[in-house]
Amino acid sequence: MAKTKQAIIIRNDLNMRKGKMCSQAAHASMAVITTNMNIISDDGEYKGAFEMTEAFVDWVNNSYTKICLQCSSEEELLELHSKAKAEGIICSLIKDNGLTEFKGIPTYTAIAIGPEYSEKIDKITNHLKLF
């Protein structure tokens, strides 16, 4: 069985507090699921549903493996996000509202790539350092 994972990439140039980094990573991981849901009606009640890839199902059923990586700029973060999208990998991009840090300026802070097969994610992220 091929290994699956989710890569969470956080900008290290923002000098975020540890708690802020943790919350941005959690937002990125959850956003992969929530932003890809299609709300469907079932007898007047709404629920979220989306089609899961084989890799996503494997990840949910076996490991929930996550790896936290760092990048050095907004430009690099956006480039990684674009590459993942171009490869057809489910991903999310987090823009913080700037209410507690960043002096009120909305700021891109993190992305999550996957869950997907590790070798597909590694093609995009293998040059990044662990956080």
Q: Which CATH superfamily is domain 4-130 in?
A: Bit1 (3.40.1490.10)
Rounded to two decimals, the pTM is: 0.90
Closest to 1 (Cα-Cα) out of 53, 52, 66, 59: 59
Q: What is the mean pLDDT of residues 55-77?
A: 94
pLDDT digits (tens, 9 = 90+) for 79-120: 999 999 999 999 999 999 999 999 999 999 999 999 999 999
Look at the alpha carbons of 4, 28, 13, 86 in this order and tell me if their dihedral is positive or negative.
positive
Residue percentage of the chain with pLDDT more than 90: 77
| pLDDT score at 44 | 57
